């Protein structure tokens, strides 16, 4: 008699449709329906963007702290951050205060949105006594190169007439002076780590404005304006700090937040998956698995630049574990370097995207059942 199969279920969210937890629950149900004796480890995960707070709450011993802040348009809200057990480290999720999902389609405009609210969360953590700040930056509605965060921590931006500027994408090209005089000493002394899941640079055809600004509500004209403003502000950072940020890998993530924090606060940019991999027992679970299911809403060229399913595939490939990437939609992407990794699309070809989104949970369970029924175990 064979030993029970160990199945690891470790998906990211299907953005706009299902949370990572919802996806994991559906995958788990399908596995148990087909293989009732399988030993399943259900581990909804994140590449350190949206969803990382939930991962930490599930597997770490700290606590979630809620505090008043503002959204990316300056409207009052309350948002959480995660305080680790040592009381000296915090995880802040940019999307909680500056996220795209908080705005209606009509409100979205990266020329006018700001990361100021995220800066208020960082400030709250610093005032709590934190010395290590991890910032997960997925799902942003902004393109302000972290000028909002800088302002919330006491920094000021002036134009050539000495007038104070609002921190937002539209102001980038007008800044002539970056003033640190009132920045919190605790912010300057803190260890700031930006958790990033992509390697896009700030400037260029695969940079922040050209890759991400359209989904945040920018027109073609806005994109060119943001590109010019980003170039100008990055050059100003170099003049004042000596730090070159235009081609830093990952610097283009979240509207240039990574590049901005790197230049303004000498923040370190690390792969978000690597950080959470260190902080959680995921590696142990992978080593025990006979079969792994991961996935996300859209598996495309961005995915293979470091997003969760690709990183899971890379880890399981090294251990020769059969792995399925199950995604809502799949672009024409193959992974020939990972021969035991298979990519499967949930959306049937005969359905439109809108139709598929309306019944996404049912389609995911159907696809999972189909895959499992064909397994020879």
Same domain as 326, residue 238: no
Q: What is the pLDDT along the chain (377 residues), one digit of tens a residue?
A: 578 899 999 999 888 789 888 999 999 999 999 999 999 999 998 876 677 888 888 888 899 999 999 999 999 999 999 999 999 999 999 999 999 888 999 999 999 999 999 999 999 999 999 999 999 988 899 999 999 999 999 999 999 999 999 999 999 999 999 999 999 999 999 999 999 878 899 999 999 999 999 999 999 999 999 999 999 999 999 999 999 999 999 999 999 999 999 999 999 999 888 888 888 889 999 999 999 999 999 998 878 877 889 999 999 999 999 999 999 999 877 889 999 999 999 999 898 888 888 899 999 999 999 999 999 76
Same domain as 251, residue 104: yes
Please, which residues have CB within 8 angstroms of residue 282's CB and are 6 or more apart in sequence? 10, 43, 45, 276
Instruction: Provide the 3-class DSSP secondary structure of residue 107.
Output: coil
Listed residue (141, 261, 135) closest to 202, CA to CA? 261
1 domain-assigned:
no
Same domain as 346, residue 263: no
Domain of 141, CATH number, reads: 3.90.1510.10
Same domain as 161, residue 56: yes
Same domain as 78, residue 203: yes
Same domain as 32, residue 143: no
109 domain-assigned:
yes
Residue 196 bridge partners (DSSP): 271
Same domain as 289, residue 246: no
Give residue 28's domain range.
Answer: 6-45+282-373
Relative to beta strand 6-9, strand 39-42 is parallel
Same domain as 296, residue 227: no
Domain boundary among 208, 243, 273: 273
111 φ, ψ (degrees, to nearest 5): -75, -25
Angle between helices 253-265 and 220-241 (to 10 degrees): 10
Domain of 356, CATH number, reads: 3.40.50.10350
Q: How far apart are CA 172 and CA 276, in angstroms?
A: 32
Instruction: Provide the 3-class DSSP secondary structure of residue 98.
Output: helix
Domain boundary among 252, 273, 294: 273
Domain count, the chain: 2
């Amino acid at each position: 008699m064979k030993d029970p199969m160990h199945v690891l279920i470790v998906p990211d969210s299907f953005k706009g449709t299902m949370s990572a937890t919802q996806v994991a629950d559906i995958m788990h149900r399908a596995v148990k329906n087909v293989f009732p004796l399988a030993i399943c480890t259900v581990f909804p995960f994140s590449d350190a963007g949206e969803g990382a707070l939930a991962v930490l709450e599930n597997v770490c011993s700290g606590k979630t702290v809620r505090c008043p802040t503002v959204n990316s348009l300056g409207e009052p809200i309350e948002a959480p951050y995660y305080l680790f057990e040592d009381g000296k480290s915090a995880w802040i999720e940019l999307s909680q205060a500056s996220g795209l999902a908080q705005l209606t389609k009509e409100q979205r405009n990266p020329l006018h949105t700001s990361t100021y609210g995220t800066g208020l969360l960082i400030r709250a953590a610093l005032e709590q006594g934190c010395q290590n700040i991890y910032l997960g930056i997925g799902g942003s509605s902004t393109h302000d190169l972290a000028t909002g965060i800088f302002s919330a921590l006491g920094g000021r931006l002036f134009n050539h007439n000495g007038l104070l500027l609002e921190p937002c994408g539209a102001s980038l090209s007008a800044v002539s002076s970056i003033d640190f005089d009132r920045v919190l000493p605790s912010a300057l002394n803190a260890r700031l780590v930006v958790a990033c899941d992509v390697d896009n640079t700030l400037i260029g055809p695969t940079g922040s404005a050209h890759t991400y600004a359209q989904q945040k509500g920018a027109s073609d004209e806005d994109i060119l304006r943001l590109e010019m403003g980003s170039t100008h502000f990055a050059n100003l950072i170099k003049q004042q700090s000596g730090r070159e940020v235009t081609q830093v890998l990952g610097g283009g993530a979240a509207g240039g937040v990574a590049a901005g924090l790197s230049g303004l606060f000498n923040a370190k940019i690390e792969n978000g998956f690597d950080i959470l991999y260190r902080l959680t027992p995921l590696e142990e679970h992978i080593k025990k698995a006979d079969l792994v299911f991961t996935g996300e809403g859209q598996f495309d060229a961005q995915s293979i630049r470091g997003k969760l399913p690709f990183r899971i595939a890379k880890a399981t490939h090294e251990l020769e574990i059969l792995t399925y990437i199950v995604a809502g939609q799949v672009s024409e992407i193959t992974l020939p370097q990972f021969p035991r990794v298979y990519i499967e699309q949930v959306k049937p070809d005969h359905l439109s995207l809108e139709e598929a989104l309306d019944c996404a949970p049912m389609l995911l369970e159907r696809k999972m059942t189909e895959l499992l029924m064909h397994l020879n175990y």
